Amino acid sequence: MFRQALTVAVAHVAPEAKILEAGTLAAAAKATADAPDLRLITLDLKMPGAVGYSGIALLHAEKPDVPILVVSSAEGANAAQEARAFGAVGFLRKDADLTVIEDAIRKALGRPEEIHPQAEPVDQVRREVAGLTPTQLKVLLAVLEGKLNKQIAHDLGMSEATVKAHMTAIMRKLDVRNRTQAALVARSLGLDLAH
């Protein structure tokens, strides 16, 4: 029902828009990567394949210049703040009425919120996670699942050396010394929490 409301709201705000739908995070990532003129992503935090805020981080990594409007049944300002920290420009509750949805879409298509330069240290780390490449994020999520480099290499279809290179880049971006610290940082930011 909410997807229908989103479709109606998008058609009202941007009648020229073509809407692409995806049922899983993997399908959304592929659609995002393949769409050359993408203007807005609406993302359900509970989409199949998404864990916590991983969907935001993955899609933001695919298209960092495309605004992401998060749709969720999560309660409280904390979920909205966390979503924004990982790259979302807005947060819509699933019980929002049509005018609220339209306003959020208008705002997201207009001008994304700017990141304040005097951010807290945790916000800086969140931006670093949001700045990981899609492959780096997949490697980090696999580390969160407790997978070894060999397993990650097999799952992602790459060599162990490539996995190690991605882990080195991830650790450098997160300013940590080992994969356990990288996992702890990601976990502390809520990257692996179910919403």
Q: What are the pLDDT digits (tens) for 117-150?
A: 444 555 667 777 777 888 998 898 898 888 999 9
Residue 49: closest CA among 24, 71, 69, 68 = 24
pLDDT of res. 155: 94
pTM of the full predicted structure? 0.59
pLDDT of res. 192: 58
Region 24-34: what's the mean pLDDT? 88
How confident is the model over 77-100, as pLDDT tens digits? 678 888 888 888 888 888 777 788
pLDDT of res. 116: 39
Q: Which residues contact 97 (CB under 8 A, 6 or more apart)?
A: none
Residue 67 pLDDT > 70:
yes
How confident is the model over 144-189, as pLDDT tens digits? 888 999 999 999 999 999 999 999 999 888 888 888 888 877 777 6
Instruction: Name residue 35's amino acid.
Output: A
Q: Is 69 helix (H, G, I), strand (E, B) or coil?
A: strand
Show the domains of the chain with their CATH numbers.
2-110 (3.40.50.2300), 121-188 (1.10.10.10)
CA torsion through residues 177, 180, 181, 186, sign: positive
